[in-house]
Structure 1
Amino acid sequence: MLPGSLLLTDAWSPVFYSMKSPLIIAAKLSGAGIVLFLFFALAVPCTLHAQRPNPPSWTRGIHWYQILIDRFDNGNPENDPTGREVLGDTLYQWSVSDWTRNWYELTVQEKMYNTMFYPNAYLRQYGGDFAGIRQRLGYLKRTGIDALMLSPVFKAPSSHKYDVSSLHHVDEHFASKGEIDTTYLNRENPADPKTWYFTTADREFLDMVAAIHDTGMKVIVDVQFVHVNAQFWAFRDLLKKQEQSLYRGWFNVHEWDRAETPFESEFRYDCLWDTKAFPLFKTDTTGLAPEPREYVWGATRRWLDPDGDGDPKDGVDGYRVTLVENLPERFWYEWTAHVKSVNPEAVTIAEWIGDPSEAPECFDIIYTKTFAKAVTQFLLNKTSTPTAFDDMYNQHFHTTANQDASILVVSDLETDRLASRCANADVKFEKNNTPQRNLEYKVREPNELERRLQQQCLILQFTLPGAPLIYYGDEAGMWGGDDPDNRKPMAWFDMEFDDESSFPLNADPSAWDAGFDSSMYSFYRTLIELRKEHIALQYGTMSTVVIDDEKKVYAYVRESGSDRVWVAVNASDEPQICPIRISGIEDGYYLADPFHSVRFRVREGLIYPVLSPNTVSLLVREK
């Protein structure tokens, strides 16, 4: 009997078989004879894939920071894109948007394109770049960040860069374009990694990676290997040369263009979401077709070990992959093995939309919104019980091997910001969480009560086992609905912002201070400092000590040796007494809550905190 979750290949045919539960493997008769599934130490070639027992040690208990590069900081305005480069149109007077302008205010240029807000918002770019990240590394380090999770860095026309035009060159608008680059690029064979040249922009990216490493932080990059942009070099050649293109095996073409109809195009091909701008790479039962697969393999290696000397210290520290569901499991087992062959300490993270238990087990970490949804239902929607929340956490995150490395997300690139979720506490998670679909959705600065709700969600995120992720700007108090309102330019402490008014969107004349929120930033800093001070919050075990669904009270303890931290939750609208048994601390000592300025004395091994309505209390031994 074999352990579950293995992929087996028979010794003579390139077919893999996946098993999600233990079962006995027997010989199978076919017309060609016997197909043997080989395992154990037989002298016949076979491939066995098993789950990596632990993610890289550096991912345990760290603090992630997710950056959308275009919206983080514009450190070099000279590399800003033009309208022709972004839209392919010289007639539309497009330009990079003003960083500090009211988000909802349309410019004269934008109104000429469309009088509605959202069609314009999706076209905006703000010029954020590598220079902007480098000049903010001190801020990130002071905040307590351990690892950066960057949006894609590769050449693409959009602001987010998921629609790649190249995987082996970074976008020149994040860096610089050298005058000599064109000469060398013309000598490249893009399909042959041995001919690839490092452009000025590529080198500036690697310089930034080195600068990040010099601070002690790690850095990973988002990637996807499912589709490209119509400007992708192989697809451009296919579009021009049709059947004669060397890259016809890269894409699945249904019908070629016909020369006898010069004013019509019959060219049809597979594309993502029926969007012609997003051609899909050709696939087969094993994943990507051979040609794009080799290209992806080469690009993957390029950024992990740029100089190819076998020492990956000059490369990125891993990848977060999106659209994982769109390629078969076998492909991911092979790709993650390829990553580990280049750098065994690189992390592979899969963004997974469905049930996390169904994600390929070859990835080190599964990135999901499960935690964000559970916290929203428990503390904001009030549709979940302490028991349901505890069951969710234990099922999806609380495992012996991976719990410290599990990434705990409360908001990111694809959700409304946590601050706005707290201001719309009755809105279900990822349902009508934007004014585009819900005119009642509040797009304003959260009030004091809503900020307290935000803080309660954060205490859970930073005290349960795992590695909390901060979405850029959340620590600065930024708010906003789902995409694009969650992608405003970073509210920096050294910039003066126009007041934000959503009047152009919903005729609300109110205006709010959209600048850096130093109070919220201090709260994040305190949470991170507490985690770094208490090893129990980084690597300790977690035990549930109180569950009371009737009172909506929940408490747990984090422990590592003699270090202990208790967390008590009152999710009800009434004050609640929450008796908690305290181990390891003698009677007479006090437990203090650093956020609510209260303390409780241990009596007969118990404390009796009175929890205010809708409160999460963090308790540590008073020094």
Structure 2
Amino acid sequence: MTALLYSAFLRMPCNTGQLKELLVKSNTFSAPEWAKRAVWYQIFPERFRNGDPKNDPTINDIEGAYPHDTSSPWQIHPWTADWYELQPYERKNGKDIWFNLQRRRYGGDLQGILDKLDYLQKLGINAIYLTPVFESPSMHKYDAATYHHIDPNFGPDPEWDRKIIASETGHDPTTWKWTSADRLMLHLINEVHRRGMRIIFDGVFNHIGLNHWAFRDVAQRQQASRYRDWFKILSWQNAKTGESFQYQGWWSLKELPEWRQDENGIVTGPRDYIFAITKRWMDPNNDGDPGDGIDGWRLDVAACVHHQFWKRWREHVKNINPEAYLTGELIDPIAELQPYLQGDEFDAVMNYNFTFACSEYFMNERTRIPAGEFDRRLRELREAFPRDVAYVMQNLLDSHDTDRFVSRIINRDKRTMRDWMDYYKWSCGNGADYDGRKPNAAERQVQKLLALFQMTYLGAPMIYYGTEAGMWGANDPSCRKPMVWEDLDYAEAGYLPNGEQRAHPETVAFDQDLFEHYRKLIRVRNTHPALQVGNYHTLLADDARDLLAFSRSHENENMVVVVNNSGADQRVIVPALQNSVYGDLLEDNHRFASNGEQLEVDLKAKSGRILIRRA
């Protein structure tokens, strides 16, 4: 069983019935205003920062998680070790690197996130998306044991927290208490808000894990369990007939039991539970003021849950906080996204269609799409939904379920990311034709150019933790390495995935130059409303010379972004600009004057300029 099976991000068919006919598009739909100005940062908590080693998980804490080995030697893995090198404790179990990568825990926690809020602010981040934080035995935590408690190993007192959890009745919110991990999360939320930032949780509402209190009761009591109707049971354990206990798991995975659904979506018991925990985390003190709660949700494998559930749940969320932000995990063509984005389900999705188009234009060489086709694909995506949707789409380039996008640059032209399932399997990096090496300077330059486009295009850019620090790697699990920090010394990357040693080990260190590049771009975005909420207009899409130019304008602010995606220095002529002087926001000494018909701009290969009209 590979890491592929444990991704909560696979594009897959789900038994949600036929898609309804599309609602008539309504321009009255309004997305949260703050989300239009967001620069997102996705954190995978277990791999971000170990701020409190005293709360590190033990071997008992991973029971119930793949690969179900709690008998072999185990310890917290050294944060700065070579990723593909088996440590002495791992060699004792006799298994390969892929087995052991799933057993590893590094001890990332909430204190680590708190300790690095200054770092995120320095970068310019104003919105945080946390992958699952609820109690769970796995490192990814898409297999929840509860939704109403933060994982005890993310907080300061795991032992005490588990005693509190054991004293509760899971389905009865009146018995719920606040654990030390819960309270630390509330402190994190408060601290994020104090800094003028936002934070959202990952809502994994289609399925749970083997350790969930309701499922454990069903597994133990069988038909006598009060939760028997919460799940789709295929057969009950029967000693007389020899039948075993069988149930529906997500993607047939037994580690991920699915909630039962009917024509209205998730059935009453788990639905009520989900609605209760939604209120708990959005208005923790239940005073009607959501200021002490999270600012929204990212919804995992959203296509697996019936539309009717999402409609009712959205009403519940918006009643708690009208400015809450809802974004769906949907990796599908535009036509399949439209039903979710009409104003009665989600505000946005993780914009993988943006990712695909950017990969096809900026990263590929031999199979690169022309500039005009790139522009057409983005225009189709912008115009497919109500106007506000485009401004709040999470424009990502990588995530916890893709290869690092700089590694996609290294492996350009080999596969098409838009062919999601094929690309997902291949990009996990356990095959000989995926190159997991460190990027060179030319590949970093492509990354920098793509970052410039990401920060100036319409929509809310999202950075996956460590991308700004220079991290590279194949898909899951190698996109989930521990964060590279400048205050830590890391072992060289001396091992290959097959266990062989590299002929030339590669240094692993925080990339200050790349960080400053991202910081500068984000500062430009955060200080110019035209890049956040302005209109978008294509000025140039030159197929022959591989050039792109577009304008962003809002009120009296007018900006022009010019991109040279070719491998040669070029003079770019941007048409149809009024007599004006434009200043380069990345290079203060550069000024460019238009003559009323065109603007001439010099650009080095694989570079861009962000220009603002000065006069």
Q: CA separation in 1, counterparts of 2:32 and 2:480?
A: 30
Are the aligned partners of 1:162 and 1:223 in contact in 2 as well (CA < 8 Å)?
A: no
Q: Which residue of 1 aligns with 2:57?
A: 81
How far the C-alpha of 1:95 sits from its partner, in A, is 1.4
> How many residue pairs get matched?
579
319, 341, 347: which one aligns with 1:364: 347
195, 210, 213: which one aligns with 2:175: 195
1:208-287 equivalent positions in 2, closer than 5 A: 208-260=188-240, 266-287=244-265
Deviation string 1:467-489 (CA, Å, 9 cap, x unpaired) is 11011001111111111111111
1:593–1:203 distance in 2 versus 1, CA, 3 Å: closer
Q: Which residue of 2 aligns with 1:615?
A: 607
Deviation string 1:79-103 (CA, Å, 9 cap, x unpaired) is 1111122136552111111101111
Q: Which residue of 2 aligns with 1:289?
A: 267
Between Structure 1 and Structure 2, the one with more helix by share is 2
Q: CA separation in 1, counterparts of 2:149 and 2:185?
A: 10
Q: CA separation in 1, counterparts of 2:234 and 2:171?
A: 23
- Structure 1 letter corresponding to 2:411: N
Most deviating of 125-134 and 411-420: 411-420
Alignment partner of 1:508 is 2:502: yes
Deviation string 1:549-568 (CA, Å, 9 cap, x unpaired) is 23322211111233222122
Alignment partner of 1:354 is 2:332: yes
1:90–1:425 distance in 2 versus 1, CA, 3 Å: closer
Q: CA separation in 2, counterparts of 1:99 and 1:286?
A: 45
Are the aligned partners of 1:168 and 1:302 in contact in 2 as well (CA < 8 Å)?
A: yes
How far the C-alpha of 1:584 sits from its partner, in A, is 4.9
Q: CA separation in 1, counterparts of 2:161 and 2:606?
A: 58
Q: CA separation in 2, counterparts of 1:593 and 1:365?
A: 30
Alignment partner of 1:408 is 2:391: no
1:142-541 equivalent positions in 2, closer than 5 A: 142-177=122-157, 181=161, 184-260=164-240, 266-359=244-337, 360-361=340-341, 362-382=345-365, 383-397=368-382, 400-430=387-417, 431=423, 434=427, 436-503=429-496, 505=498, 507-541=501-535
1:281–1:554 distance in 2 versus 1, CA, 3 Å: same
Deviation string 1:572-617 (CA, Å, 9 cap, x unpaired) is 344444211363543xx45436269765443354222244433333
How far the C-alpha of 1:58 sits from its partner, in A, is 0.8
Q: Which residue of 2 aligns with 1:565?
A: 559
- Structure 2 letter corresponding to 1:384: I
Q: CA separation in 2, counterparts of 1:598 and 1:387?
A: 28
Are the aligned partners of 1:593 and 1:599 in contact in 2 as well (CA < 8 Å)?
A: no
The alignment partner of 2:218 has SS state of helix
The alignment partner of 2:398 has SS state of coil
Larger Rg: 1
Q: CA separation in 1, counterparts of 2:158 and 2:80?
A: 30
How far the C-alpha of 1:185 sits from its partner, in A, is 3.6
Q: CA separation in 2, counterparts of 1:402 and 1:421?
A: 27
The alignment partner of 1:303 has SS state of helix
Provide the alpha-carbon RMSD of the alignment.
Answer: 2.5
Are the aligned partners of 2:428 and 2:476 in contact in 1 as well (CA < 8 Å)?
A: no
Q: CA separation in 2, counterparts of 1:500 and 1:183?
A: 41
How far the C-alpha of 1:330 sits from its partner, in A, is 1.0
Are the aligned partners of 1:152 and 1:222 in contact in 2 as well (CA < 8 Å)?
A: yes
The alignment partner of 2:610 has SS state of strand
- Structure 1 letter corresponding to 2:33: S
How far the C-alpha of 1:289 sits from its partner, in A, is 1.3
Displaced runs of 4+ in structure 1, greater than 4 A?
15-18, 49-52, 178-184, 595-599
Q: CA separation in 2, counterparts of 1:458 and 1:182?
A: 43
The alignment partner of 2:503 has SS state of coil
Q: Which runs of 5+ in 1 are unaligned?
A: 1-14, 23-48
Identity %: 34
Q: CA separation in 1, counterparts of 2:474 and 2:313?
A: 35
- Structure 2 letter corresponding to 1:460: F
- Structure 2 letter corresponding to 1:389: F
Q: Which runs of 5+ in 2 are unaligned?
A: 1-16, 418-422
- Structure 1 letter corresponding to 2:106: Y
- Structure 2 letter corresponding to 1:558: R
Q: CA separation in 1, counterparts of 2:19 and 2:356?
A: 33
TM-score by length of 2: 0.89
The alignment partner of 2:76 has SS state of coil
Q: CA separation in 2, counterparts of 1:348 and 1:435?
A: 29
Are the aligned partners of 1:61 and 1:465 in contact in 2 as well (CA < 8 Å)?
A: no
